[in-house]
Amino acid sequence: MVIGYSDGNAIVNACPVFEAALRRLSPAYGRGAYANARRAAALGPLVLALDYSLSDDAGAERRGFAIADLARRWAARAFDAAGLPVQAAELRNCAGITDARTAEAAEAVAAAVANAVEDEAEPALEAAGLAASAAAWAARCALGVPAGHAVQSAREAAEYAGGAAIQAVEAVEYAAHSANKSARIDLDTLDLCVSELLDLVKRETARGA
């Protein structure tokens, strides 16, 4: 369920890039009255901000880079939670993803830190690795595909970015609950990720297409 949607239909002229991220994050809140209330509080403003947020291809490309940059920052948060500040700093200290050059550089760093914990079985470390891997894929997708497919590639970047956020949430949760996989998802961290996405949406819609 996504608050603000009717029968699964998108709101009017929503940016498909940001909408993809919204749809990826919404199920992470889980089920039940409490989860639904938290989802409504967090996603309600985001849904409203998406109304008439559609952009042209150039805007979609820019937004793809921007949301890949969010994925990089969310992955860094996962490594902080997993107790790996060096790898977190490597991700955090990358140049912000704004173009093909910075996306390629961030992809390389994210892939490297993901590989560093590839064989770790401890859940927080595993989640951090998956977050970094998702961030690497987000950066790769943001680089685009053949001309005329900017929206498609940016949407895919957004979906991977949402995956990075969810893994960051799980890393925080596992670290806080001694790797108890049955523990409730850390909604505070999820709310923070949604808030950061909302800030990006507001900046982009204020900027225009």
pTM score, two decimals? Answer: 0.87
- Sign of the CA dihedral 79, 84, 87, 89? positive
Q: Where are the domains of the chain?
A: 16-207
CA–CA separation, 127 vs 120, rounded Å? 10
CA–CA separation, 136 vs 114, rounded Å? 9
User: Is 111 within 8 Å of 133 (Cβ atoms)?
Assistant: yes
CA–CA separation, 135 vs 158, rounded Å? 10
> Which range in 48-52, 75-79, 204-208 is most confidently predicted, on average pLDDT?
75-79
Q: What average pLDDT does this structure show over 193-206? A: 93
What percentage of the chain's residues is helix, strand, coil (to nearest 5)? 70, 0, 25
**What digits encode the pLDDT tens for the residues 21-47?**
999 999 999 888 998 999 999 999 999
pLDDT of amino acid 180: 53
pLDDT of amino acid 7: 39
pLDDT of amino acid 173: 81
Q: Which one-letter amino acid corresponds to residue 43? A: L
DSSP structure string for 20-54 = HHHHHHGGGG-SSHHHHHHHHHHHHHHHHHHTT--
